[in-house]
Every structure is written in structure tokens, then in C-alpha cells.
A and B are shown apart, each in its own frame.
Chain A
Amino acid sequence: MNHAIRRMGVVILVLMLALLININVQQVLLAEQTRDRPGNQRTVLQEYSRERGPIMIGTDPVAKSVPSSGQYKFKREYTDGPQNVPATGFYSALYGATGIERTENGVLAGTGDMFLMSRIQQLITGRQAKGGAVQLTLNGQAQQAAYNGLGSSVGSVTAIEPSTGAILALASSPSFDPNKLASHNLSEVQKYYEKISADPNKPMLNRPLAQTIPPGSTFKLVTTAAALESGEYTPSSSLPGPASMRLPESDSRLPNWNGQACGSNNKVTLTEALAISCNTAFAYLGMELGNDALNAQAEKFGFGNSFAVPMQAATSRYPTGIDRAQQAMSAIGQFDVQATTMQMAQVGAAIGNGGVTMSPYLVKSVLGPDLQVMKTTAPNQYARALSNEHATQEMAMMVNVVNNGTGSNARIPGVAVGGKTGTAETGKGRPNIAWFVAVAPAVNPRVAVAVAIENAGGANEVSGNGLAAPIAREVIQAILQRSN
């Protein structure tokens, strides 16, 4: 029998070896792949067992981890959640992370490469692993002014520091409460998520960064820049400005928003055309300058590029391959021109910044668990959009819009504010979008802001001034106040 017993021994040895090999495959070779599979709650639990670093505006944490008694050791808490969520994003056990919570996860969780030393230190001292902090470029007062200004309307606000590209305000309305998604009561989290997902006003859409809409007359700032840069026009150049014009190769006519001619003898200067937002004059300019010039100008302001702020923003677009009628429409920000409010704020910022477009960014600095600065974002020059001289000229034209033109609601006593109103049509039967782009103060501007109100009804040019300009003014005041 011993022969057979030895054989059985070999068979059993093979079975045991198969078990040993298989557990090595499962626990070592396939481990990474298995960990990343959807539905693996452990990965989230693991992250919740660490104290995640805060996201800060200035020195105030707006997202922080607080100890929790439940299954998860820490709970994420957001201060003014709905107001700040376009920047912070949310961190949910059920739905993962968005915004800074996602893009800066390596810092916040303390797993990024730059945390290697502190991780080793923590391993030796046995202290609880702790994540680093992210300091945002946002200005708390400006952020609040932007969000409160939007109120119950559907829209967005972006404010940028012209000299650096630092994003000072980023607001979206309607918004949602990230605290309700970070809750540990998963069934309520799911209920809330499903509710806001089904909302037709899309509260989870990060409007200032992720939504492109027609910029309307605020795009005339780009057309003006292209006109000045062409060398053919100066602010005092005379342009035709009839009450309406027939579009080439088309039966339709393009009217001015108030149905009136823009000046006596149907003539108007470029400065005056911008101040009263003369459609016919700019449509004429668009056809004269040509599509390539307008497209090139738009791209120098940032159109056609997706900026990582570090969240990837939607790409604003100027249409290509269009006929002359479409060129005329595009020059006034209609037809297929699409822009985020961040893009339009960039346009204002570049004009204010002596013609230089800066890359927008949201992370001011990265701090270690001990709140020592580990990395500071350096401003990055993206492109020169127009010469310093032309920028100064266009800035003066924008101030004229506020002081003598359609943008009267942006006036601030004692401050030279430049601005441009806009109203975009989004299609028959759909509400117009009211826009306002502002830069202030005129010399060494500290802020450029773009506001878009999407549910402006059957608004006309007045509504950009009426609905959007006051919000821009509040944001500017919040920024200027801080220094005073």
C-alpha cells in the first residue's frame, strides 16, 4: 500500500501547491487590479481611516475631516458647502470625489510623492497618517458675493486676478450641499444624489468651468481686440451702424437690439459702438476682419484650449469654416461661439493685464500636514492677446461702457470700472442669457469678473446691465474692500 500512499501524498502536495500559488496570484499579482474594481468599499474605507487634509480659503478650512464615531473614522465637513462646491468638489464614500477633492487627492490623502518623507516619519513614529492641505486662490468675500449675488437664478460667476490668473471667485447656481454627499448614512446620500441628478436645473453642473454657452455681446470685446490688433482700426474709427443690416448670401436681417441706428448718418465710432453694443457695426467688423483674424484673436484669449485649473475646464470655441453671414453673427457672440464664464473673465483679465493672458489656476499652495508650505503655484503667462497700447485703449473703451454706455449698473464711486454687457439668444422659445464682463480698477486692475445669468427670459441688452452687472459690482467691491 505504501506506494499508493506516497502517490496520494504527491497528489495532495500538488493540491496544496495549487492553493499556495493561487493565493499569491490573488493577493499579490492581481491585488492592484482587484483593489481598483468598482464596488470595492475597502478602498474608500481605507481612505476614510486617514485624517484627510483640509481645503482652505486663506487660512479658513472650507473642507475638513472631523473625527467620526461610525464605521468610517473621519467625516468630511464643508463650510458654506453649496457656495464653495464648484471649487472644493465633494468627497463621497458612494460616489467618489470631484473638484479639488479629486484632483488634489494625493495631497489631501497624503499619498502623493512629495509626502514620502513624512510618510516614512509617520511609519517610524507610529503616528496616525495625516494628509496635507490645499490652499485655494479664492477670496472668501468675493466668493460669497458671487454666490449670494446669483441667488435663486440659474447662472455662474468667475472672477480672476488679471496679473496672475488666480481664480478669486467661482460660483454656480443652483448648487448643492457636498455635506449631504459626504454623509455616512449611505442610503440618504444615495437619495440626495438621485434627487439632485434628476433636477432639471442641474445643480451638479459646475457651470463656471464646465458649461459653455453663447457669450453674446461680451464677445464684442474679442472683436474689438482683433480690430485694434489689425492696425486698420482705432477707437475713434468710424463704422457703419444702421438700425439693421441684411446678412450676405442670406435673406435674414440682423437688427440692433433696440431697433435704432447706432449714430447719426448711420455712422458710429468703435468706442461708441462698444458702449451702446451696436450689433450692425460689429457684424460689419467681423466680416471685414475675417474669420481667421477673429479665431486667432479668440485663441490668444484662451479659446480652443482646455485649462486644467487643475480641474479640466471645458474648451470655449470660436467656430471655423463658416460663411460671411455666420462670421457676422459670430462677431457679436452668436451663432456657434461658445464660452464658459471663466473664459470671458480671462478675456477681461487679459485686457486689464496689458494684453497678456494668464493661465487660470485655483490652487495657491500645497501645505504639509504641519501646514508648512510645500509648493506654491507660479503664475503662468499663456499668450499675449494684444499689445500693451491696444490693451490700454480697449480698457478705456470698457470704462466708457460703464460710465456712458450700457453698463451703468457696474459703476462704483471712486473706482474706474470697465465692463461690457451681453445678451445671448439660445434658440427660439428658450430663455436668453444675460452677461456682464467687468475689470476694475482701470489701472493695475485687481479683478476681472464674468457673470452669466441663464434664465434671463426674453431679456435684451438691458438685462446684462440689470441682472448681471450688479453681481459683478458686488464681487469687485468685495475684492477692493479687502485691501482698504
Chain B
Amino acid sequence: MSTAVSASSSTKASTSSADNSWMTGNRRNVELVLLIFAGLIGLYAYANVDLALRGSLPVNLLAVIAVVTVLFGSAHIAVRIWAPDADPLLLPAATLLNLLGLAMIHRLDVAASIAAARNDSPQPSADVAAQLTWAGVAIVLFIGIILVVQDHRRLQRYTYTCMVAGVVLLLLPLVPGLGTTVNGANLWVRLGPLSFQPSELAKILLTIFFAGYLVVHRNSLALVHKKFLGIGFPRGRDLGPILVAWLLSLAILVFQRDLGTALMFFGLFVTLLYVATQRRSWLVIGAALFAFGALLGYLAFGHVRIRFEVWLDTWSYANDQGYQIAQSLFGLANGGLLGTGWGQGYPQMVPFAKTDFITAALGEELGVTGFMAIIVLYGIIIERGLRTALACRDPFGKLLAVGFSTVLALQVFVVIGGVTRLIPLTGLTTPFLSYGGSALVANWMMIALLLRISDRARKPLPAGAEYVKGAGA
């Protein structure tokens, strides 16, 4: 990854303004071609589910084709008009993930509907309709951000507003009457018929806050007080921010019993602290605090301990606390190399197949081949985000892009690692795939902001402007 990145930046440096048209018009066409490709894969999957399970094409296939075309087509057009220089891979990769998620949710809907018909129970409502509606909301907000946030640097003005809003959102589930407990974790807020996961929106706000805060304070945080084992350590009073972030994460763990979100926020902060200051000592301190926090969690909370034990010895717990993960592994094993094919496995046997365990469902029906493709798609989005950070000319934009990429990477690693028993299971939604509106909306907003930053980063410099190597670093 790093070699590719440096190769590209050197190309960029040597490209004169005269022949940089390949970066603009053509790139949008690449995006369009990839987007059509993503659309075809997604719609094929959708049709394949019905063919396998019901023996006929879905009745609303044409309507779905129309909706998908309009939705992601307008996202493309918005980027073409208002962010013409933006990265061409982010939108198609996110679209393909979103469509695969919709297809799997539809597949599980059909399974639930068949099961209900068998048991003479009332037909469940189709979750895919709700999810498609949320995708619509997400794309509208996506276009809104492309349109409204002309310059990402303006977001820096709202550093502390974002902090307050982010922390309030994180605390919202604890307000009596608002918060609801889902699967033992208090991370949902219910307002009438709507429920959403505030931590998903908070991750964007807090990334903006961390970036804005660190841009201003990175010089003092980079000061070396003492050297130990060749690593410079900061002054004691500069430990304040990381301790606050740590305590906040612990609070999430304690009050919301949500290990995944706690880990994600702390990991994000430490990463940004390291990138902003370039001091490896922050990683060491962060790792030590994480280890200490994890130990505290292990000692203090039964649910953390159980998760850990289930991870080590899944099969002894296969019928109780380890049921989900055991079912997930059964599904993955059933999928094998090439998968059972859409509609031909038993992903409905895994609890929470539409949310936390959606990758297990996909792994079963698409096999390790399809699962690897999904992970590579995430890899592409993350790599494109980091590339945007490298190319970005201002430090705030750099941190923002690294932040979004890191959030995505941590979330993907924690949830897929948990589902596939690489690490202990922690509840987090799988970006773009999982059923759930707030997460989908938040992730599309992140993609919009990344596109915004990359548009500015890749825009040819105005004539006369001097290209400063390593600007903003």
C-alpha cells in the first residue's frame, strides 16, 4: 500500500498542469463504469435470491432497478458536477457494499417470509424496504454534503460544537425514556417509531473534533519530555487529552456496555494523536491504556469476561453464550471456497444475520472468495481514504481523512474479526452492509466528506500557485 501511494504522489508532482485532464474528466467516466459494474452485481444478487428461493424473478425487479439507478446515478452526477476531481473508487466501492448488504437483507427477508408462511404466522415486514429508504436518505445527505461543504476546512470552525454534539449524542442513550437496550448494550435511542444509534453519527462529529483539536495542539503534544528505550515521551500535563479520551471510552464501556464503540473511539483518538504529532510514544501510551482498560473490563464485567472465554473456547459454549459465533462458524464452513450461492445456504440460522453477523451470512453464500472480495472492497475504501490524506494539502484535512479511514478500518476489523473468531466478539455494525439506518447514513456522510477532501486535494493547483512538496505535513 505504501509503495503505491508514494508512486502516485511522485507522478502527481511531476505532472504539469497542461496534461492533467486525465485526472478529471476521464476519472469520472471510470467511476461511472465501475458504478454500473457495481449496480449489475448488486441487482444480479437481488434477482438471484428470488430465483433460488422462489423460483421466479422478484416481482418488483424493474422498480428496484429504477430506484437503484436513480439513487446511485444521482450520487454520481452530484460528484461529477460539484466534486469533479474527487477520487473515482470511493463511490463505486461503497455502492457495491451497500447493494450487497441490501441483497442479503432481502435474502433474509425472504427466508423469514417463507418460515412465517410455513408456521402460519403473520408475514414479517420486509426490512429491505426500510433499508432501501435509508439508503435514499443517506444519498440525499451525501449529495447535500457534496453541495454544502464546499471546503472541508470550514468544518474546523465547528471543532468544539462537534465535540459537544458528539458527546451529547454518545450520552443520549443513557437519558431515561430515550435509550433502549438492544442485546445487552444501551446504544440505541428511540424517538416514537424511529430508533437510531447515536454513536454512528457521533463518530463523524468526534473525528472532526479530534482533527480540529489536534491541528491546534499538536505542537505542544509533540514536545518530548523524557526519552525511554529510544522513544520520546511527552510531558505529564500533556497526557490530559488522551486520559480524557480514555475515560470517555471507559464510560461508554461501563454505562453502555458497548465494547466495540469504546474501542473504536479510543483507537481513533490514539491514531490521530500519533499522526498529528508523529510521536510513537503516543501509540505506546495508548496501547498501555488500552491494555489496562481491557484488563479492568475483564475483571469488572461478566459480559466482557464471557466474550473472552467464548473466543478462546467457542465450542464448549456452542449451545449457550457462544451460540452466535458457533452458528457463524458453521455457516462459514458450509460456504467453503465458493459458497452455497445466493439463497442456497442457511444464513438465517445465525442470530442477528442482518446486522452484526451479516458478513457471516455473506461468507456462507458467497464463500471465502466472495468474503475476500468484500474485505478487499473495504481495503480499497480505506486505502483511498489514506491516499486522500496523503494528497491533502492542509493538516486538518489530512487528519480528517485519516480519521475517517481509521474509523472504517477499526470497525471492519473489530466486527469481521469478531464474527470470524479472529478476536473476541464485540457488537458493531458492519459499514454499508448491516441493516440499520443511522449507520448507513453516517457511513455515506463519511464517504461524502472523503470525496470532498479528495476533490480539493486532487484539484490541479491554480496557475502560478507554487506546489510545495510535503505541504501541510
Contact = CB atoms under 8 A, between A and B. Distances in A.
Interface of A: 1-6, 8-10, 12-13, 15-16, 18-20, 22-24, 26-28, 30-32, 34-35, 37, 39-42, 45-46, 69-71
Contacts of A3: 278, 473
A19 B333 contact: no
B413 interface: yes
B416 interface: yes
B472 interface: yes
Interface of B: 1-2, 5-6, 115, 118, 271, 274-276, 278, 315, 318-319, 326, 329-337, 345-346, 349, 363, 367-368, 371-372, 375-376, 378-379, 382-383, 386, 389-390, 395, 398-399, 402, 405-406, 409, 412-413, 416-417, 420-422, 470, 472-473
Nearest to A22: B422
Closest 5 CB pairs of A and B: A34-B333, A27-B368, A31-B333, A22-B422, A4-B275
B420 A19 contact: yes
A26 B376 CA distance: 18
A5 B389 contact: yes
Contact of B334 (A2, A4, A10, A42): A42
B473 A42 contact: no
A26 B372 CA distance: 12
A71 B416 CA distance: 28
Given A1-B399, A34-B329, 13 more contacts: A1-B278, A1-B398, A4-B275, A5-B390, A8-B274, A16-B378, A19-B422, A27-B336, A40-B330, A41-B346, A42-B334, A42-B346, A71-B115
A8 B118 CA distance: 51
Contacts of A46: 334
Residue of A5, A9, A24, A39 with most chain B CB atoms under a 10 A cut-off: A5
Contact of B398 (A5, A31, A34, A35): A5
A6 B9 CA distance: 12
Residue picked from A12, A15, A16, A30, most chain B C-beta under 10 Å: A12
A35 B334 contact: yes
Contact of A42 (B118, B330, B376, B406): B330
Contacts of B331: 42
A15 B409 contact: yes
A321 to B, nearest CB: 45
Nearest to A30: B333
A31 B6 CA distance: 40
Contacts of A15: 409, 413
A6 B422 CA distance: 25
Contacts of B1: 9-10, 12-13
Given A42-B334, A42-B349, A37 B363 contact: no
Contacts of A35: 330, 333-334
Nearest to B345: A42
A39 B326 contact: yes
A39 B2 contact: no
- Which interface residue of A4, A24, A41 has the most chain B CB atoms within 10 A? A4
A367 B49 CA distance: 35
Contacts of A20: 372, 375-376
A32 B334 CA distance: 9
A40 B334 CA distance: 10
Contact of A2 (B337, B390, B413): B390
A3 B395 CA distance: 13
Contact of A37 (B274, B315, B416, B470): B315
Contacts of B5: 6, 9
Contacts of B333: 26-27, 30-32, 34-35, 40
A23 B276 contact: no
Contacts of B334: 35, 42, 46
14 contacts: A1-B275, A1-B399, A9-B1, A12-B406, A13-B379, A16-B409, A19-B416, A23-B420, A26-B329, A26-B332, A31-B336, A34-B332, A37-B326, A71-B118
